[in-house]
Amino acid sequence: MGERQREQVSQPKKKRRIRTKKILLGGLGSIFLLALIAFLFVNGYINKSLPQTEGTMELPMLDNEVTVITDEDGVPHIQAETARDMYIAQGYIQADRRMFQMELSRRQASGTLSEVVGEDALNQDKYFRTLGLRRAAEKSYEVYSEESVEVLEWFSTGVNAYMEEAKANNSLPVEFTLMDFEPEEWTPVDSLTIGKFMAFDLGGHWQQQAFNYYLLDNYEQEKAYELFPSYPENKPTIIQDEEIDIAASFEHAVIPHPFNGSNNWVVSGDKTASGMPLLADDPHLGLATPSIWLQMHLESGDGLNVSGVIFAGVPGIILGHNEQIAWGVTNTGPDVQQLYIEQRNPDNPHEFLFEDEWEEATVMEEPIKVKDGETVDYEVVETRHGPIVSEFASESGKDTVLSLRWTALDASTELEAIMEMNRATGWEEFEQGLEKFLVPAQNFVFASNDGTIAYKANGKIPIYEDGQDALLPLNGWEAESEWQGYIPYDELPTVINPEKGFIATANNQIAPDSYPYHISNVWAQPYRYERIAEVLESGDNFTAEDMQDLQMDQTDLRAREFVPIFQKVLEDTELTEQEKEALDALSEWDFVADKDAPQPLIFEHWMQAIQSTIYQQEIPQVMRELFSTQSQSTENVLRKAASGQKSQWIEDKGGIEVVLHDALENTMEKLTETYGEDLSAWKWGDYHQVQFHHPLSSVSPLLAFFLNNEDAIPVGGSGVTPMATSYDKETGEVDHGASWRFVIDTSDMQSGYHIVGPGQDGHFRSDWYHDQMNDWVEGNFHETRLDGAEGEELVLEPGE
């Protein structure tokens, strides 16, 4: 073939190649263009739902103009002429920032998640339908004052104004699109139901009662009682004998027959640099995105000027300060939940025995709608004591009908208390407001600019003739098992201006044995309180910065107690070189749970392994889930065995030396497999990390990438340090801790210092979505003022 022919043949091929390349490039270009258009469309759609923080907006239901200034930390400062306009604006702004969270909260508490999630949420819905938090909220609504009902209605009006606008503009948060539903109208009962859910979250001890019942049913009494909850001997209480404030009339009273943790403290001006009280509070709750708290500042023309945090979906400020006073809480953890064993009529499953007569129970039909499934017919049965919860009590309820009596299921008036607390100017007014705060029972600390510091264990606490009664289910058919009223309000533990110059609480035991009423059998381990008290007792001239440092303190007093004990027990034990290296490292430890240190990694895993060694083969995992005092009970049996006392649980495993060595051996094997042979390179933070997961991030890795927004961050502390960072034992993920940190020096009531982890907004494209995540880990507080807020300004205008 000649050259010309070859050229003629090759030309079409070359043209075909060029044409193919053009087509391919053109196709790729079209795909890229389509992808770009889709990206821009989706990006624009998502951005439509970002909170509006600037400009003007019309809210026809307002009477007057409302200004909302969002400061550099994402805190909305709402300034209104009237309370009505202020609460409408608060409802609108909360919804604009947290509507999806609010929707999930009311659905979870109401037992209606299955409607939007599907069958995966069915068991959870059954549990909350059984408890009846929404039914309790409906009962509460009926007893609220007209003024409080107005506040609830005003707030709901604001939430609904946002929803109507967002639906009309197709600007609801993207989560609603992903889950393919829209929120329905907000009602006052929704807000109260969320409040009742917080009572559930800070709950009671019925699970421990069920576990105790299981113990006695499966073990000899001596062995069973070893795991019953008890507080370590000679450990501090919040109030001392000489500090108990009991009404003088108590001696004439007829005594009837018959613990999620937190830190707070107040320091008197005698121990501060400013000469005025300091207050610090960091409630420990679940850590997630968005935060359980929303920080806000509310100001109205009738004199209200209050700043702090509130649960999304609820009006007012529940924790914070105004221009005269500041307050904070920890969970009291009293015995407010009681299981009753019920005798069912064999001829009528809805009748139960009481005092030799059959009583008809209340039967409620609670049909549960299930997305992409059939509606489930569910029935709730309530005895005189409360709902039947046997199906949720695992082995303890297998052959027993158990009902639950719980103070939170009664009508209560916490919103009225919040309204009064927000406006209080001193301790007397504040304490009057507290009388309406019934559930959950909380340890309130208080400080004011008149120099007062105070404390009250506040709430509705049942009277038991014998506190041991609250350890086990009671006989539901006997009148003598009924609660005999509640501790009178003026006899609740109270301390005002103590001589020692501070008051601190950390879910530890409140009162000494001389206190005339039973409060609880279940207290947090004393380590956080002991460390806080150790610091506050050790010096004077404290500043707000010192209080911030104390909230971030990572000193582990549990390790300080047990490491020497473990070393002594194992001093004559034959150990491997690596086990010796581990004990040597622990002996050099300063007991600070630093994220870069190997010792807390070794110690925490050792404690976990000890628990597994003792219980794993004996107690089914399903029952260990109900064993809420597992850490405390383990520490108690270790103390007993190490001191030479008999502990059946330890002896059954070969004795204290065998238990500790087996657990250490398992610990070193696990850590070496995970982190390598070089112990000096191990770091607590390689295991112990925080991320703040969004509730939808588990659906797919792509959603996790966008919604979690940040990599997990190594963090120090532990579940027993003042910087509380409790974690999932399987993954090391920190999932419980300081949901909000707050410090104030009452010498300047205009200023407070805060951290809201991981941020203020619920929208993943917002600048305030995860901006406080590193601050939470490092302890960087932001200042929020009651006067002169600066930032982006949004004006809400009334309709013409």
DSSP-assigned letters across all residues of 492-536? S-EEES-TTSEEEESSS--S-TTSSS---S----THHHHHHHHHH
pLDDT for the residue numbered 371:
95
Average pLDDT over residues 786-792: 95
Query: Which band of pLDDT confidence, cut at 50, 70 and 90, is reported for residue 698?
Result: confident
pLDDT for the residue numbered 202:
82
pLDDT for the residue numbered 252:
23
Query: Which band of pLDDT confidence, cut at 50, 70 and 90, is reported for residue 625?
Result: confident
pLDDT for the residue numbered 676:
97
Percentage of the chain surpassing pLDDT 90? 80
pLDDT for the residue numbered 2:
43
Of the candidates 637, 639, 662, 636, the one whose C-alpha atom is nearest the C-alpha of residue 647 is 637
pTM: 0.91
pLDDT in tens, 598-623: 999 999 999 999 999 999 999 998 88
pLDDT reading at 659 higher than 60: yes
3-state secondary structure 167-214: HHCCCCCHHHHHHCCCCCCCCHHHHHHHHHHHHHHCCCCHHHHHHHHH
pLDDT in tens, 248-302: 222 222 222 224 579 999 999 999 999 999 999 999 999 999 999 999 999 999 9
List, in order of start, the domains of the chain with CATH numbers: 557-591+598-682 (1.10.1400.10)
The percent of the chain in helix, strand and coil, each rounded to the nearest 5, is 40, 20, 40
pLDDT for the residue numbered 466:
79
pLDDT in tens, 261-275: 799 999 999 999 999
pLDDT in tens, 515-559: 999 999 989 999 999 999 999 999 999 999 999 999 999 999 999
Strand partners, 736: 286, 726
Mean pLDDT, the chain, integer: 90
| Spatial separation of the C-alpha atoms in residues 493 and 474, rounded to whole Å | 26
Place of tokens 């999806």: 100
Active site residue: 49, 105, 191, 262, which one? Answer: 262
Residue 449 near residue 266, CB atoms below 8 Å:
no
- Known catalytic residue: 230? no
Please check if 335 is assigned to a binding site.
yes
| Spatial separation of the C-alpha atoms in residues 642 and 230, rounded to whole Å | 17
- The CA-atom distances, in angstroms, between 487 and each of 457, 501, 534 are 11, 27, 31
pLDDT reading at 84 higher than 90: yes
| Spatial separation of the C-alpha atoms in residues 105 and 197, rounded to whole Å | 8
- The CA-atom distances, in angstroms, between 44 and each of 164, 249, 412, 765 are 20, 68, 45, 11
Query: Which band of pLDDT confidence, cut at 50, 70 and 90, is reported for residue 234?
Result: low
Grouping H, G, I as helix, E, B as strand and the rest as coil, residue 449 is coil
pLDDT in tens, 103-148: 999 999 999 999 999 999 999 999 999 999 999 999 999 999 999 9
| Spatial separation of the C-alpha atoms in residues 37 and 31, rounded to whole Å | 10
pLDDT for the residue numbered 30:
47
User: What is the per-residue DSSP string for 788-799?
Assistant: S--SEEEEEE--
pLDDT in tens, 571-594: 999 999 999 999 999 999 999 999
The helix (H) or strand (E) run that includes residue 588 is none
